[in-house]
Structure 1
């Protein structure tokens, strides 16, 4: 039976993929939540995608398999989909619709919130100023993640982006302040879903994690709902409960492909690569739900992970994501082939808000200088390597050989770490100094002289030697 005051409609004109087209409706609005009652008494749920006069297009969250136009009744709730919110999500494992798959009861909360969320008023946004430390040296030193930032991971098939996402979700901290992680997996294989659950079991047991897993054989519509559920849960934990929340969403390419499939079922005109023309605004409606709010505790930081088809960074999904977000962490097949994990390409990666969250009083006083010098040295090393391929190593200068040594040391001593190794920032910065000491002092022009003197003296026992120059 429908709720009191709800009208049940039986005029199902057509079933089209995951969509139900209902005729003869009145007073139905966009994004309205609907309950679908089958002849057998089974109840399914849906959201209104479009209303045109007396026609409503409803996307069914559980798919339309087994449904028939005759005998199907639909009741519209009069409002958008809402879910209970609160700390009850922490420690739970749910599917992409928010239904428990851990054997526990339905998630309850002291309040509920609309899944669609609301954008943060730009006037009330607080500028990001403090870091989220991930325990991954390459990220913390070179592309520091800042509270309230949206920083995507660009990857390709065959690279360990899921391992990196799980490692960051398992290790991330905010300097002892109340912290939580919401992990949204979309289009995962069952093996990958099991890997995520196992990798995050400790954080889940500590009630610091909410896990939403949509697998590849789940309904495609569920894939569109999963990140919105995750962000709704995160917003309440942050702005009502006062926690700093990291939302990890993987894989946004699977999400975008689900959006394309639904768009095709609706008969919409395609844009680039057959994606809908509103792909940009749809992605922005997710990414822009992060940040900090004046007068409210907590923060929401978003780490989307996406795979670039054929490694093409100009593909619509990474291309549009790059416009919306504040930098990117790019994984490299070349670095991966050289046996380094995580295979981060430091020259293609960037955190535009890093300067806001790194330096004295936040991480360490030498952090911004060391990161800038290391990036500059790696850029020069890449040029030298290309030159060596043209003229041969014997023709290089002694300083050029030092740059090649630095690149090898960077991969071996700084970048490489275990998938379960939680590397402190102090150790990561000290490793960066060890790599830079390979160069003559004359090549370290981006580090202030006083800071350089102090580090070299401390390392060389008071001799002040110039990095073996």
Structure 2
């Protein structure tokens, strides 16, 4: 039985306080009727004796202390789910914004999800192909992995996210079902239109579900958007046996919304003003990726975050790095050189890559090739530093070859263009063309048999 109350005790920004409340539960959904006409929803985020603090999703504008009716629903926030959710566009709390009817289904899931039993988790294997060489070869995305992209303001992470959505595939297991859940938080209208137009024009909308929280939407919604998206992904993966790639952008907007709400609640801040529970909130999102034993589906995450002032030690990327399994780092210097995507491969890594590539999944030379490209590109940095001091004419012939290799790697391998979709085999072959610019004896990270099989005495064009 639902309980209804007349009037509110206090209103503080997006929060309201209701006193004299009974039988309320943490995370319970509350329905408000304002002036007997306008309806809003919220959720209980704090309970103390007979008081409850409630977040209002649509904001507290037009709400009054006397003429607002509050109804406790008796359940947490849920989303109706069916396979028809693919190809649909919703706002940040799961309401349709594509002009079509709401999802009608007897299946409703709590957006907070349930923790996966560690004993039921399977180790991530196999890969997802993005068509982007620097990711597929050097920081391979493994199914069930959480691999964030660390970006900065003004860098092309939106274009990179759109390119991944339109190109992503299951590689050598194309007969399995694949889908994408795309959630955007705090984005501008033109960016939202860019995503929608890109997905439609490239014919991928039918297997993409979008959740869009715009910059002028209530801040509270940003805390809900990734949870709604991940609940959708879990349903499609673990009940419909699909491999689901979840892209969350921008996690920084999610964290800043959390800081704003925490401040309005009067909580003691931690680093940079963020609440002390930022780590656990991020972990609650990221740890919803994975594979369950006995289920064919998987949930793979690519969270995208913008580092304030390009500071990788900022609390958001810092805590994200503790939870996730690697990172892809976008570099402003490469962006200034007009290299797209501007992925700095040296600080980028995929910790699960070694178990999802090789002869069983990609090709026998994949791991050795990646190791050698990393090693040789690190030597490029040393050669460039030396050339900047004594001049390029004075460095050794070997260092000049490394400089040539570095320029070719950046301009031909890392840079590939927004519309370029490379197969994994093309990417690996291109890597060998690059390494063939260097003397064979310099390639000491590669097994001799593999080196003899793939090394080419040709000039990279």
TM-score range (shorter-chain normalised) is: over 0.9
- Identify the match of residue 117 of structure 2 among 103, 110, 121: 121
C-alpha distance in structure 2 between counterparts of 1:244 and 1:188, whole Å? 26
Q: Deviation digits for residues 270-318 of structure 1, max 9, x if unmatched?
A: 1100000000000000000010001122000010000000100011100
- Distance in structure 2 (CA, Å) of the matches to 1:110 and 1:76: 21
Residue number among 55, 67, 71 corresponding to 1:71 in the alignment? 67
* Deviation, structure 1 residue 454: 1.5
1:266, 1:10 → 2: CA distance? Answer: 23
Q: Tell me the distance in 1 between the aligned counterparts of 2:277 and 2:239.
A: 31
Provide the rounded CA distance (Å) in 1 between the counterparts of 2:121 and 2:135: 25
Alignment correspondent of 2:192: 193
| Deviation digits for residues 354-391 of structure 1 (CA, Å, limit 9, x no counterpart) | 00111112011111110110000000100111111122
Q: Give the SS at the match of 1:63.
A: coil
Paired residue total: 457
CA-to-aligned-CA distance 1:32-55 (integer Å, 9 cap, x gap):
111111113211101100000000
Aligned to 1:136: 132
State the partner residue of 2:304: 305
Matched with 1:364 is: 363
Deviation at 1:86, TM superposition (A): 2.1
Q: In the TM superposition, what whole-angstrom CA distance separates every residue of 1:136-195 from its partner, at most 9, and x where no partner exists?
A: 111000000000000000000111001001111111111312000000000000010001
2:280 corresponds to: 281
Give the alignment of 1:234-245 within 5 angstroms.
234-245=233-244
TM-score (norm 2): 0.97
**2:228 maps to 1:229:** yes
TM-score (norm 1): 0.95
User: Residues 166 and 204 of structure 2 are in contact (CA less than 8 Å); yes or no, is this contact kept in structure 1?
Assistant: no
* Unaligned 5+ runs, structure 2: none
SS where residue 312 of structure 2 aligns? coil
Q: For the residues of structure 2 that align with 1:421 and 1:383, how far apart are their CA atoms?
A: 31
Which residue of structure 2 lines up, in the alignment, with residue 319 of structure 1?
Answer: 318
Asked if structure 1 preserves the Cα contact closer than 8 Å seen for 2:34 and 2:62, the reply is no
Kept after mapping to 2: 8 A contact 1:11/1:23? no
Q: Choose the corresponding residue for 1:95, options 85, 91, 95.
A: 91
Aligned position for 1:334: 333
- 1:253-278 C-alpha deviation (Å, 9 max, x unpaired): 01100000100111101110000000
SS in 1 for 2:155: coil
The answer as to 2:56 corresponding to 1:60 is yes
User: In the superposition, relative to structure 1, how do residues 25 and 163 fare at CA in structure 2: closer, same or farther (>3 Å)?
Assistant: same
What are the ranges of 5 or more consecutive residues in structure 1 without an aligned counterpart?
460-464
| 1:9 and 2:5 aligned | yes
Give how far 1:207 is off: 2.1
Give a deviation string over 1:224-266, Cα, whole Å, max 9, x none: 1100000000000000000000000000001100000100111
Partners of 2:199 and 2:205 within 8 A in 1: no
Q: Distance in 2 between matches of 1:90 and 1:420?
A: 24
**Superposition deviation, residue 25 in structure 1:** 0.3
Q: Which runs of 4+ in 1 moved over 3 A?
A: 202-206, 465-468
